[in-house]
Amino acid sequence: MSSDNSLSHTRWNCKYHIVFIPKYRRKVIYGKLRRDIGVILRRLCEMKDVEIIEAHAMPDHIHMLVKIPPKMSVSYFMGYLKGKSSLMIHDRHANLKYNHGNRTFWAKGYYVSTVGLNQKTVAKYIREQESEDRLRDNMSKREYVDPFKK
């Protein structure tokens, strides 16, 4: 398959859907901070030879569809990604130190799911997540009129 990668004696195609959130699920991933987080995450992934297939920053969480080499565990990669990115975010945005405690930016833990042959479905979900959330928010804010009152 053309989507397979190879190491010296291994052919591999390991894709993961990863979701992680800022501490206290604060909605801080907006504007300039959102762009900086994207640049930082892309740079850190390049340094570890992890390919980002699809990614999207929501106001309170990050979705990533990544291809991680089998020589690296997902937990090691996430520890590296969240740890280094937290330090880099605080270096670029010193005011966050006062809002979010020490130099922690991400909450503990993450969600991960292996992606088999349904990569296109997961990529589409990540791409359209924000618009679906907006639609759901608009529907829930709707005020209903009681038909029995005049």
Q: Which of 16, 98, 110, 125 is catalytic?
A: 125
Sign of CA dihedral 28, 31, 32, 35: positive
Kindly tell me the number of DSSP H helices and DSSP E strands found in the chain. 4, 6
How many residues are given for the chain? 150
To the query of whether residue 144 is one of the catalytic residues in this protein, the response is no
Q: Are 112 and 20 in contact (CB under 8 A)?
A: no
The catalytic residues are: 125
